[in-house]
Chain A
Amino acid sequence: MRRNQPRSLWQSLVVRIPYAWLAALFVLPFLIVLKISLSQSAIARPPYTPVFDLAAGWHGIRAFFAALSFDNYVLIGSDPIYVLSYLKSVEIAAFSTLILLLVGYPIAYAIARTPRRWQAVLIVLTVLPFWTSLLIRIYAWMNILQRDGPLNQLLVALSIVKEPPVWLSTNTAIFIGVVYSYLPFMVLPLYATLEKLDESLLEAAADLGCPRWKIFWQVTLPLSSSGVIAGALLCFIPIVGEFVIPDLLGGSRSPMIGQTIWMEFFGNKDWPAAAAVAVVLVCLLVAPILVYQHRAMRAVERD
C-alpha cells in the first residue's frame, strides 16, 4: 500500500502546511489565552502583566512564572455575575436544543418520507437560510418582535391580546432566535439518519400488529438516535457560546457567557478576566466537543 512508501517532498508538504497553519492559529492561540488568564489586568500596552520577555533571559522567565496567579479564576468562582452567566448559557442551550429536537424531528421525518426527487429540493430549501448572515436573520426578528412590529399588530388585530406584549429583551426572544437560526443544523443530521432507515422494518412491525405510536417509539426513534445525538451536539455546543442572538434579542440585563466575554473585553478592557472566562467555557464544553469530534470523524470516514 501507498502508506508504506517513502513520501515525496510534495506529499509531506500536503500534510505539513495545513498542520502548521492550524498549530500556529488554533492551538497556539489557546495556549496564549491560558497564559493571559493567569495574568493581571494593567494599564499598559498590551493591557496585562506580566509580559513574556525572552530578552531578560533565565531570570526573566523565573520572574514571569512567579507573577502568574489564579486570581481571575477565584474572581469567576466568587462573583455571582459570572456563575449566573454560565448557568443561564447552559440552561438556554439545553432548553433550545430540546425545542429544536421537538421542532426539527417532525420536519426531518416528513422530508425523509417524501418522494426522492422532492427530498433534494426540500433539503436545499432548509439549508438556504443558513447561507444568509446570522446577523441579518436575527435583525429580521428584531423587526418582527418590536413593540409595534408585525407580530404584535397581528396579535392585536386577531384580539388574541389586548395590550401588545414586550418580546425584545426577554428570554422568549432568545429562544425564538436560537431555534430559528439553528433549525437547519438540527434537521440535516436527523434527515441523514432517517433517510437511511429501512422501511421494511416499519412494515414488519406494522404487520405484527404494532400500533403506530409504538412503532415510532420502539423502531424509528432508536434507529435514528445517532442523528439525534449529532444534531443535539451540533446545536448545543455553539449555542452555549452564542453572542449575536442574546445581544440583539435578549438585551444585556442578564447576559449569556458570550456576552460576558465580549463585555469584559470590549467594555471593561479586562483582557485577563475575559481570557479566564473563555478558558472556563472551553473546559465546560470540552466533553461535548470531544464526543462530537469522534462521531463526526467516524461519520465522514465511513461514507
Chain B
Amino acid sequence: MRKVSAVNLAAIAVGIAFLYLPIVILVIYSFNASRLVAVWGGWSTRWYGELMSDVPILDAAFISIRLALVSASAATILGTLAALALARFGRFRGRLLFAAMIYAPLVMPEVITGLSLLLLFVAVAADRGFWTVAIAHTTMAMCFVTVIVQSRLVGFDISLEEAAMDLGATPLATFFAVTLPLILPAVAAAWMLAFALSLDDLVIASFTTGPGATTLPIRIYSEVRLGVKPEMNAVCSIMVGVVGVAVIAASLLAKLSGGERAARAQP
C-alpha cells in the first residue's frame, strides 16, 4: 500500500476544510436564536418554524421542485438521444455542428444563455412563465446529460449490441433490452444532475420567467441581495440537507448496483 506523505495529507485536509467550513458555518448560524449574526443567542429552531408560515417561500419551493422534475426528465430523454447519436452513429452529416451545440452550452456564461432564450421567447411571442423556464432549463441541462451518458456509451462493449442485432432484435428492441439497462446508472446520475442544475439556477430562470413563476433561487436572491437574513440561513440549510442526503443515497445506490454487477460478472 502506498503511504500518504504528511504534505499531501495536509493539502487534502485544508482543501476539504475550505470546501465544507462555509457550509457548516451556514448551518450552525441557521440555529442561532438571535437575529444578529454577531451575537450567538443559543440554539433554536425558531427560523425553521417561521419558514413554515412563509407562504411566498413555500410557493416558490413548490414551483422549483415541479420545474426541476419536468426539466430533468425532458433533459434526460433529449440528452440520452443526443448521446446515442454521438456515440453510435459514426460520422453522420452535420455531426461537428451537433457536437459543437452540445459542448458549447456547458461553458457558456449563464447571462448569455438566459438573455438569448428570453429574446427568442419574446420573438415568438410566447407567454413567459413556468413553461418557458422549463424549456430553458431543459436546454441547459440536456448537454450535461449527453456528456455523462456518452462517456458511458463509449465505455461499454459494443459487441453486446451487435450480438442482439445479429440475433434479429430490432434497433428499438436492442436499445430497451441491452443498451438501456447497461447505461441506466449513468442515465440516473444524469437525471439527478439535471434536477440539481434546475433547482439551483438563478440567472437563466430570472431572464426567462414571467408572472406567477417565481422560483426558489429567485426568491432567495431577492431576499439576500440586501444582506444576511436568519430565515434565509434556514432555507439554505434545508436545501443543503436535501441535496446532501440525495447525493449520498445515490452514490450508495450506484455502488450497490455496481458491486452487484461486478459480482455477477465473476462466476
- Using a CB–CB cutoff of 8 Å, the interface residues on chain A facing chain B are 1-3, 8, 10-11, 13-15, 17-19, 21-23, 25-30, 32-33, 36, 46, 52, 103, 106-107, 109-111, 113-115, 122, 124-126, 128-129, 131-137, 139-144, 146, 148-150, 153, 180, 183-184, 187, 233-234, 237-238, 240-244, 247-248, 258, 261-262, 265-266, 271, 274-275, 278, 281-282, 285, 289, 292-293, 296-297, 300-301, 303
Contact = CB atoms under 8 A, between A and B. Distances in A.
A136 B235 CA distance: 9
Given A15-B89, A17-B81, A110-B9, A146 B228 contact: yes
B37 A143 contact: yes
Given A103-B15, A261-B111, A289-B104, 15 more contacts: A3-B91, A11-B171, A15-B81, A18-B146, A25-B136, A26-B101, A28-B120, A32-B116, A106-B15, A114-B8, A122-B16, A129-B23, A133-B202, A137-B22, A144-B25
Interface residues of B, number: 92
A237 B232 CA distance: 30
B151 A303 contact: yes
Contacts of A301: 154
Contacts of A289: 104, 107-108
6 contacts: A2-B88, A15-B98, A22-B101, A135-B202, A187-B15, A234-B107
Contact of B200 (A11, A28, A134, A282): A134
A114 B139 contact: no
Contact of B244 (A2, A22, A128, A143): A128
Contacts of B139: 21-22, 25-26
- Which are the 9 A-B pairs with shortest beta-carbon distances? A241-B109, A3-B90, A29-B116, A110-B8, A148-B38, A133-B200, A18-B82, A107-B15, A140-B26
Chain B contact surface mostly: helix
A297 B25 contact: no
Nearest to B105: A26
A111 B12 contact: yes
Nearest to A15: B85
Contact of B239 (A109, A132, A184, A285): A132
A149 B37 contact: yes
A121 to B, nearest CB: 10
Nearest to A8: B171
B183 interface: no
A274 B207 CA distance: 12
Contacts of B151: 300, 303
Contacts of B168: none
A237 B107 contact: yes
Contacts of A140: 22-23, 25-26, 236
A139 B236 contact: yes
A93 B114 CA distance: 21
Interface string B58-86: 00000000000000000000110110110
B29 interface: yes
B251 to A, nearest CB: 6
Contacts of A124: 251
Contact of A143 (B29, B122, B207, B221): B29
B84 A132 contact: no
Contacts of B1: 115
A289 B117 CA distance: 19
Contacts of B207: 265
